Each structure stands twice: as C-alpha cells, then as structure tokens.
Structure 1
C-alpha cells in the first residue's frame, strides 16, 4: 500500500472509531463527583486527567487503542483555595491529577484496551484499594463472549467495619479501606509468604466485599469472576448506578 493509501486507510479507521474508544461518564449520585484518570503500563496520560461531573450529568472522553490505566471518582471536594477531596484525592491542588494517583480508599475501574483494532479489551472494577462509591461499567456496541457489564452497585460504606472505615468530621463513613490498606499485613496484601493464589485465599474482610459486589475484585487473586473482555466497544462508566 502506498503512503497515500495508508493515510486514507488510517483516516477511515479513525473516523470509524477504530483508533479510539469513547468513554461516557455518567453521575447518578445525588452529589457532584470529580472523575480522575491515570495511565499505566507506559502509556500516555489522557487529554483529561480530572474533571467535574455534577449530579445527573454526563461527559465523554476519547481513549486511544493500546491505552492502559484506571478511572475513579473523587468525592466531597472543596473548590475554595487549593482543590482537595475527602476521598480519591490526587494531592495536586487542582482538578487535574496530572499523572498522580488517587488516595485510598477509592473504587477503581481498570482498563487495558487492545493494542490493535480487533484485539480484546480487558476491564474490571476493583476494591483492592478499598471503596468510596458504587460504580458500573457497560460496554456498548462491542462483541465477544465476555463482553458484559460489571459493577459494584452496593454501598459498602453502610456495612464497613469500624477498623476499615474512613469518616468525615461528622462521623459519617465516606470510604472503606481494604484490609491490606488498613493493616499492611502480608496475608491481606498477598505479599511475602502469601505471594501467590495458593497461599493467599480470601479473608473474612474480602469476602464481605465479595458478598455485596460479586463481580468486583475483592483482593489480589480474585481474577476468575472479576476480569471481563470485549472487542470493538465503547464504554459507559456510571457512578452510583
């Protein structure tokens, strides 16, 4: 194929959406959230690394094929002076995270988009870093046997044990840490002598998460029921579905 033909081919792919996936973020919470993005796996940061999403609003973002990273929502944020949030804060003092990760606990949505048109996307909802609000992921117009919605629809804050709870100044639970984050114990973090699926089974803490959110990662080796795949899809991420 000559250069002109290749350019036309790439343009056609771009127009058809094959070089990127559209992610639509919808906020069904009764309060404003501030979604954030963080690239991983050596991929580039997205054009938006943080933005405001008022109750009932939606916003879209183009994500290139081959991208890997995570999305989460920051909650109870102050826009007076330096920007800061009670959960998921990036500690940049700005709405943009600019390559900084979010403070735990936070409900994560993790993605690895196929490197080429026709490759599988991998995605999951993870509570390995804890929970701050319910979330769902719904593929749109995709294909494949594993191309299903996944979510953590329950409010885990309502049943969070005191030793895992993060509270606001009024004593309301606004986040729930994972046992690994709360205690740093290898048996909860699946590290050291517990660094494999055979030696790191679910714990009472992770099973409580799993009971309410059976599709979400509850601890490090929760792959079988928590990783989903799809091909050629766009995605809707809904907070408080």
Structure 2
C-alpha cells in the first residue's frame, strides 16, 4: 500500500505540474546576453491576454548578461533590441528600434521598424506543452540575434549576420550623426552609418511585397529579390510573411531560453559613436 500511495503521489504531482504549466504558473527563465561591441537596450512586448514579461526594457553593457526567472510558461510576445540610445533632458530615445515612450521601459509599445524580432509563443501547442519561437526580419533588421533553448535538446534559431553591412541603399536607415568614412574603410568625407535595414514591405508598402490583397497566400506571395538577400544572410530567420517552412521552431516541455545579441564573432556590429546631443546612458 505504501508503494501504491507513493506512485499515486508522483502521478498527482506530475499532473499538478502539467496543470500549472498549462495555466502559466510554472516559471521560465529568459537570459539576455550582449555580445555586441556597444551597449544595447533590449525590449519586450507581450501579446494580448498573455502573462506579462517581468520587464519591458532594460540596459545591457557590452559582455553583460541579465536573467529573468519569473516568465509565465504561456507567455507570448516579441523581444528586440535598441542601440545608439541617448537621453536629452529627461527623454530617452534610440536611433534604432526605439519604442517612442521616452523611457528605457517600453510600457506596452512596440519597437519602430526596422528591428530584428525574436518571437515566442510558450505553451502554444494544442494538447501538448509546446513552445514556438522564431527570429523575424519581416519588419526589417537592426541587430543580429540568436534564440537558444537551454539543455541542448531543441534547435537554436538565429540571424547571425550583420545585414546592415550589405543593405541596399533604398532599404537603408542611417544614423542622424555621421560616421567618418575613413573608419568605414573608405576615403573622403563623412558618411552616416546604417543602423537598420528595412524589409521591402516596410520600404515600399505594396501588396506584392507585403503579401496582401491578391498576394495574401503562400501560392501568390513569392520571395522577392530583397527577401532573398535577407534569407541568404540569415537562412533560419523569416525573410517575408510566408517564410514558415524554414523559420518556425518548436520545443516540447518546460525550457529556459537565452537570447543573444550579436551571437558570434563574425556577427558583431561595427561600434558606432553615439550622437553628440544629450548624454548617453
């Protein structure tokens, strides 16, 4: 009887854990690592009706990491990062990925595209404990990023390349303060650094590039020369709206995640001087 009771207790404990997981009570830990040569300001936006992320914006110095252990196991939302951020008076703003609140916390506001997105839907599988995650350049690119599930049993997803280096001029978003062209490896006068690369949809707004109207299906919305450029740089990331086959990843069970900005030596963005106005944080 003691043995049967012990088995029953274990079964009840396992069922309770599943119930907690399915209702978002089990905590998932997110760790953020800044491998970039300059300070970044990660931000989060939670989807409607889901448990809130513990923060909506924070700062990470080069080489720094920060963990949040209390993320609800059914959290859904996006993560991105801002850089070239300053304060002018009491107002905080960024030249790349700014959410427009004037504060480090985004407080429910999304980032201004172009911005590389790390997207998550935790516990989203019907009848199973399944997490969905992806890296998306559908709204353009601003920083390399990687999603890595803990434990090594699920596949990581990343956009490791600095697409700003190869961004076509018609898609490029440039800094308001110039970067010496000599530091960029060319001669002559100053040139403004590229701090983001728009998607074709964002840049031109046509139904064909945005997969709208008569192009609103995988059969009619095909990759463009612009999305192919993004895909060649970051094969695992979404390059346009219907790029699901090679860009959506899943993991079963309660898993912690690490999000790394500039995830490898070859992906590091070039350090860019901050704008002269105001005070940098």
TM-score, normalised relative to structure 2: 0.77
Whether the 8 Å contact between 1:142 and 1:234 is mirrored in structure 2 is no
Residue aligning to 2:186: none
TM-superposed CA distance for 1:79, in Å, is: 2.8
1:198 pairs with 184, 207, 219, which one? 219
Number of the residue aligned with 1:56: 63
3-state DSSP of counterpart to 1:202: coil
**Equivalent position to 1:156, from 143, 152, 163:** 163
- Tell me if structure 1 keeps the 8 A contact 2:51–2:74: no
Matched residue of 1:163: which SS?
coil
Match of 1:73 in 2: 81
Runs of 4 or more consecutive aligned structure 1 residues displaced over 3 Å after TM superposition: 115-118
Contact 2:227 2:239 in 1 (8 A): yes
Aligned 8 A contact 1:67 1:115 in 2: no
The residue number in structure 2 matching 1:97 is 106
Residue 267 of structure 2 corresponds to which residue in structure 1?
none
Q: Which of 126, 133, 144 in structure 1 is aligned with 2:143?
A: 133
Mapped to 2, the partners of 1:84 and 1:180 lie a distance apart of: 25
Aligned to 2:258: 236
**TM-score (normalised: structure 1):** 0.90
1:182 aligns with 2:189: no
Once the two structures are superposed, residues 177-226 of structure 1 have per-residue CA deviations (whole angstroms, 9 ceiling, x without a partner) of 00000000110000011100000000000000000100000000000000
* CA displacement, residues 57-80 of structure 1 (integer Å, 9 cap, x when unaligned): 000123211111000001110134
Residue in structure 1 matched with residue 273 of structure 2 by the alignment: none
Query: Which structure has the greater CA radius of gyration?
Result: 2
Q: Matched residue pairs, number?
A: 231
Give the equivalent residue in structure 2 for 1:84.
Answer: 93
